[in-house]
Structure 1
Amino acid sequence: MSIYIAHRLFAAHDRALAAALAERLAAKAGAEHIFLPFCDTDEENLIAEVKGRRLFELDRARLARLDAMIALLHGPSLDDGVCMEIGYAAAGGIPVLLLTTDFQSYSLTEGGDRLDFPDPLIQAVATHVIRVPRPGPPPSSHQQRVTRYGEFLSRNLAQVDATLDAAVEAALALPAPDPRSAPRSKAGTVYVEGSPYTAWGHDRLAHLCLDAGHAVVLPQRFTAANPAGSALDDLLAVCASSRLLADVSGPETPPGTATLIGAALATGVRIGAFHPRPTYTHAPGREPNWRNLMIQYAAHAHLDTPGAVRAWLAR
């Protein structure tokens, strides 16, 4: 079994949590069966002409030959690189275990169905979800010389510790991959995914596609009575389209959009990323990236104006 651990890379506590999970998994399954990005790509010491692209290529090569994925997710603003990796795995029928440290739940309307994640697509593609819903129980007796802060820390660490153990057991019990049959691509069809961070939603991009003579497919999961079921329909619709036009505007690519980008990449769908006002990220020894590098290098085209969209649609 080859297990890929997808996690946010650019904060020490995220890498530490992922490393703790990898260590426990390796003790049960063998280190040769675990892939931990950043650690196993030796990102800090990697030398390449375009380092971000090389990291993308190394991670994608591993994504193409895994048997299971564990993805670590935190809060309502989910890491777009992790979500892209989840979509890639899900499109290939790879079982995905999601571990979240978020004690909140979400719904698309005030009284709607509760979801573990803000976009129903994340929940829909998960084989299993493990949550940290609250701190661990307080100790039965107050320990001497332990402050209330130390006690609170101990409760949270105990809960995380127990959750990591649960994740290891669940990962080892995941089913075998179930490769999906590739849907027949509909020539001239463009799936348009808007951004919740922009006022025009998908309308502006959809009109550009229609004006260029393309058929347009729009997401259904945000308005359907059954968001999770419709989310899977959205995933299949992307994989059956000839192109994905995704608005990745905002502080990060929206989680569902990033998931669809991963699915499109896995199934050979051409990806156009509309991002008119990028903010760049910088890391030591790496070129500036206008989006998370897994999103940037998955996209076949970075489109920053309506004219660029028209030109891409004409190709």
Structure 2
Amino acid sequence: MTVYIAHRLFAAHDRSLAADFADRIARKVGPDRIFLPFCDTDEEDLVAEVKGRRLFELDRERLGRLDAMVAVLHGPSLDDGVCMEIGYAAASGVPVVVLTTDFQTYSMTEAGTHLEFPDPLLQAVATRIVRVAKLGPPPLSPAPGQSRFQEFQARNVAQTNTALDAAVDAVLDLPGRAPLPAGSPSAIGTPVYVEASPYTAWDRDHLAEACADAGHTVVVPQRFTASDPITGALADLAAVRSASRLLADVSGPETPPGAALLIGAALASGVRTAAFQPRPTLTHAHGREPNWRNLMIQYAVDAHLDNEEAVLSWLAA
């Protein structure tokens, strides 16, 4: 079993948590069977002509030959690189365990179905979700001299240890790879799937309208309006893998999680993809070229578009 551990790279606590999990699962399957990004790509010391692209290539090469993925996700703002990797794995038939200690659940409406994550796509594609939402129990007798802050920290450590051990057990109990059926063109032609950003207005979709005005059949997401968000999410995944192109609005503080996941699925399925971002912001890391989005998103797409004219040109190419 080869296990890929997907985690947010830009926070020390997430890197530490992923390393802790890697060590635990390595004791069961062997260290050579584990790929831990940043650690195993030697990111800080790697020298390459275009470092971000090289890191993407190394990660994608590993994504193409794994047996299982463990993804660490916390909170309503989910790391776009991790979500992209989940989409790639899911479309490749790789079982995915998602690990979270988030105590919140989410819903589309006040009375709607409660979801593990803000976008139902994450829950729809996960083979297992390991969720430990409560702190460890307080000690029956606090250690002498222990402050309340140390006690609180210990309860968090206990919660994390429970989650990591449960994730190890989940990985060891996973089924084998089961590739999804290949996407097939729609009976009504070769549609363009348009994924809007939740950070833009919900009452209009200028990208879908532009594609339709240009004569293309357009498919838009179902999961946010479906009575069953999980069923809608699976329909969205199938629609992207059957589309001729994916046009994803990646606007926001980071690529929206659903858009990131669909970009990964499209890449694994050979679907041409463009990212629409009219107001890009750049990220910078030591020794790496500036990136207009997470590098896993930047290099997974075929084009980066910033206006409607660029969209029409991409559609016509």
Answer yes or no: same fold by TM over 0.5: yes
- Deviation per residue, 1:211-252 (Å, 9 max, x gap): 211100010000000001110010000000010000000101
Letter in 2 for 1:160: T
Letter in 2 for 1:147: S
Q: Show the counterpart of 1:304.
A: 306
Q: How many residue pairs were aligned?
A: 315
Residue 59 in structure 1 maps to residue 59 in structure 2: yes
- Distance (Å, rounded) in 1 between the aligned partners of 2:204 and 2:133: 34
Q: Percent identity?
A: 68
Structural mapping, 1:9-88, within 5 Å: 9-88=9-88
198-207 or 224-233, larger mean C-alpha shift: 198-207
Q: Show the counterpart of 1:185.
A: 185
- Distance (Å, rounded) in 1 between the aligned partners of 2:157 and 2:222: 39
Match of 2:265 among 254, 263, 266: 263
Letter in 2 for 1:254: P
Q: Show the counterpart of 2:234.
A: 232
Unaligned runs of 5+ in 2: none
Give the aligned CA root-mean-square deviation in angstroms: 1.0
Partner SS state of residue 151, structure 1: helix
Q: Show the counterpart of 1:285.
A: 287
Letter in 1 for 2:242: A
Contact 2:101-2:163 within 8 A present in 1 as well = no
- Distance (Å, rounded) in 1 between the aligned partners of 2:294 and 2:235: 26
Partner SS state of residue 71, structure 1: strand
Letter in 1 for 2:148: R
**Would you identify which runs of 4 or more consecutive aligned residues in structure 1 move more than 6 Å?**
none
Displacement after TM superposition at 1:91 (Å)? 0.6
Residue 169 in structure 1 maps to residue 166 in structure 2: no
Contact 2:100-2:163 within 8 A present in 1 as well = no
Displacement after TM superposition at 1:180 (Å)? 1.5
- Distance (Å, rounded) in 2 between the aligned partners of 1:201 and 1:118: 19
- Distance (Å, rounded) in 2 between the aligned partners of 1:79 and 1:60: 17
Contact 1:192-1:245 within 8 A present in 2 as well = yes
- Deviation per residue, 1:88-129 (Å, 9 max, x gap): 000111100000121111011101111110000100001000
Displacement after TM superposition at 1:201 (Å)? 6.5
- Distance (Å, rounded) in 1 between the aligned partners of 2:312 and 2:61: 32
Partner SS state of residue 59, structure 1: helix
Unaligned runs of 5+ in 1: none
Contact 1:88-1:262 within 8 A present in 2 as well = yes
200-209 or 288-297, larger mean C-alpha shift: 200-209
- TM-score in terms of structure 1 length: 0.98
Partner SS state of residue 184, structure 1: coil
Q: Show the counterpart of 1:147.
A: 147
Q: Show the counterpart of 2:206.
A: 204
Displacement after TM superposition at 1:185 (Å)? 2.9
Contact 2:100-2:130 within 8 A present in 1 as well = yes
- Distance (Å, rounded) in 2 between the aligned partners of 1:142 and 1:49: 55
- Distance (Å, rounded) in 2 between the aligned partners of 1:224 and 1:122: 16
Partner SS state of residue 8, structure 1: coil
Contact 1:277-1:304 within 8 A present in 2 as well = yes
Displacement after TM superposition at 1:181 (Å)? 2.1
- Distance (Å, rounded) in 1 between the aligned partners of 2:152 and 2:143: 12
Displacement after TM superposition at 1:80 (Å)? 0.3
Contact 1:195-1:201 within 8 A present in 2 as well = no
Contact 1:102-1:132 within 8 A present in 2 as well = yes
Displacement after TM superposition at 1:283 (Å)? 0.5
**Structure 1 residues 257 and 206 mapped into 2: Cα distance closer, same or farther (>3 Å)?**
same
- Distance (Å, rounded) in 2 between the aligned partners of 1:93 and 1:240: 16
Q: Show the counterpart of 1:6.
A: 6
Displacement after TM superposition at 1:200 (Å)? 5.7
Q: Show the counterpart of 1:157.
A: 157
Letter in 1 for 2:287: G
Partner SS state of residue 180, structure 2: coil
- TM-score in terms of structure 2 length: 0.98
Letter in 1 for 2:55: L
- Deviation per residue, 1:268-298 (Å, 9 max, x gap): 0000100010111111000010000000100
Displacement after TM superposition at 1:184 (Å)? 1.2
- Distance (Å, rounded) in 1 between the aligned partners of 2:204 and 2:3: 36
Q: Show the counterpart of 2:111.
A: 111
- Distance (Å, rounded) in 2 between the aligned partners of 1:179 and 1:21: 26
Match of 2:255 among 237, 253, 264: 253
